[in-house]
């Protein structure tokens, strides 16, 4: 089951990249960040459990890699 913390983090990721504060074109959710809030919510709610976990895991790994390279 999707927990509240992860869901809040996903909505935060749909706003901007947590590392650069923008919307990098190489991000898999670049286009979804352009959606309005209702579209973002609808998109996130349509993700299957597998897609949702894959999306969340990808961004955790991406964040760690970017932070490591940013130093």
pLDDT value at residue 71? 62
User: Global pTM?
Assistant: 0.76
CA–CA separation, 71 vs 54, rounded Å? 26
CA–CA separation, 62 vs 24, rounded Å? 12
pLDDT per residue over 46-64, tens digit each? 888 888 888 888 989 999 9
Average pLDDT over residues 1-20: 79
Spatial neighbors of 6 by CB under 8 A, at least 6 apart, are 56
DSSP 28: T
Q: How many CA atoms lie within 13 A of 49 on its CB side?
A: 3
């Amino acid at each position: 089951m999707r927990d509240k913390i992860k869901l809040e983090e996903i909505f935060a990721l749909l706003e901007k990249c947590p590392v650069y504060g923008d919307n990098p074109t190489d991000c898999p959710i670049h286009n979804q960040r352009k959606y309005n809030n209702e579209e973002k919510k609808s998109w996130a709610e349509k993700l299957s459990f597998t897609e949702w976990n894959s999306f969340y895991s990808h961004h955790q790994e991406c964040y760690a890699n970017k932070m490591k390279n940013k130093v």
